[in-house]
């Protein structure tokens, strides 16, 4: 099995409604297209479960389904069943993976209920870490903050990709996430994509703090139409602005090698 510390783990976070899930899905597609011999794991850690739709992959069960079954057994006093279920959790999570080509998909599901136990969460997070170690790339579509990734998915990412719109509020949110992430999550590199930029010529006026600006994306009509029709990111042509600019961002962050794929 591939060691987890050799896996490239990319976490995408930012204020809601800025196109983070679309950019997460495009990141998965770009990696899969560029490196067909590599294994990619897409983790939907956002309760909205938009990544599944964007990739055209639907999970029948989630990590939280498994967690809730364990908790329900423990609360009903069926200790034996709960222990047996926990022992099988690794296999249950592998079974929850949806595969297509060199991409596998895992949904975390809704936030855990009040009845969940910290030891269970820690154990399942460790299993996710072990599963991730079997892949070359892991792309995590997270909630707005970084805390949920730390608590429910993994404590270490190699690349933190922050996504914002051009609003002052959005840029302040990603700067706050970046500051919190320095204490909560171990990451090697971080960078910012500004999406839905009204005027690309004004990017020099963006206040990004100490976060490197990787790329700015204008209001891409092709992406808006794809979202409206419920199409997957695989319907986008490589010539669209959002495709090219996400590719540029991944090159600038050192995730993709420079140049166009053959």
Region 4-252: CATH code? 3.40.50.300
**CA 246, 58, 232 angle in degrees (round to 5)?**
35
Query: Does residue 78 or residue 11 have the better pLDDT?
Result: 11
Q: What is the structure's pLDDT at 112?
A: 59
In the predicted structure, residue 56 carries a pLDDT above the cut 60:
yes
Considering Cα of 143, then 144, then 147, then 150, what sign does the dihedral take? Answer: positive
User: Is 39 within 8 Å of 104 (Cβ atoms)?
Assistant: yes
Which of 11-20, 143-152, 253-262 is the most confident on average?
A: 11-20
pLDDT band for position 45 (cuts 50, 70, 90)? confident
In angstroms, the CA 96 to CA 86 distance is 15
Share of the chain above pLDDT 70, in %: 83
Q: What is the structure's pLDDT at 29?
A: 97
Q: What is the structure's pLDDT at 59?
A: 84
Q: What is the pLDDT of residues 125-175, one digit of tens each?
A: 888 888 899 999 999 998 767 777 777 787 889 999 999 999 999 999 999
Q: What is the structure's pLDDT at 3?
A: 42
In angstroms, the CA 117 to CA 211 distance is 36
Instruction: Give the domain ranges of the chain.
Output: 4-252
What value does the mean pLDDT take over residues 66-79?
68
In the predicted structure, residue 4 carries a pLDDT above the cut 60:
no
DSSP state of 201: G
Entry pTM: 0.87
In angstroms, the CA 92 to CA 90 distance is 5
Q: What is the structure's pLDDT at 90?
A: 76
Mean pLDDT over all residues of the chain? 83
* Helix, coil or strand: residue 182: helix
């Amino acid at each position: 099995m591939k060691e987890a510390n050799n896996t490239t783990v990319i976490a995408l976070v930012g204020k809601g409604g800025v196109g983070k899930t679309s950019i997460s899905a495009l990141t998965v597609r770009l990696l899969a297209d560029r490196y067909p011999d590599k294994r990619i794991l897409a983790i939907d850690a956002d309760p909205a479960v938009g990544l599944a739709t964007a990739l055209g992959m639907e999970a029948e069960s989630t990590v939280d389904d498994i967690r809730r079954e364990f908790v329900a057994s423990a609360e009903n006093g069926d200790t034996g069943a709960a222990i047996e279920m926990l022992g099988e959790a690794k296999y249950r999570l592998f079974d929850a993976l949806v595969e297509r080509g060199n991409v596998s998909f895992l949904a975390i599901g809704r936030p855990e209920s009040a009845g969940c136990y910290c030891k269970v969460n820690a154990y399942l997070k460790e299993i996710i870490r072990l599963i991730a170690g079997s892949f070359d790339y892991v792309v995590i579509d997270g909630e707005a903050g970084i805390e949920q990734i730390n608590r429910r998915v993994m404590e270490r990412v190699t690349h933190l990709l922050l996504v914002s719109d051009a609003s002052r509020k959005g840029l302040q949110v990603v700067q706050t996430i970046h500051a919190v992430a320095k204490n909560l999550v171990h990451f090697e590199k971080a960078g910012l994509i500004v999406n839905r930029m009204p005027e690309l010529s004004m990017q020099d006026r963006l206040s990004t703090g100490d976060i490197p600006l990787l790329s700015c994306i204008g209001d891409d009509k092709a992406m808006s139409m794809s979202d409206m029709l419920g199409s997957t990111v695989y319907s986008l042509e490589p010539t669209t602005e959002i495709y090219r600019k996400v590719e540029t961002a991944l090159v600038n962050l050192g995730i993709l090698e420079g140049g166009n794929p053959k």
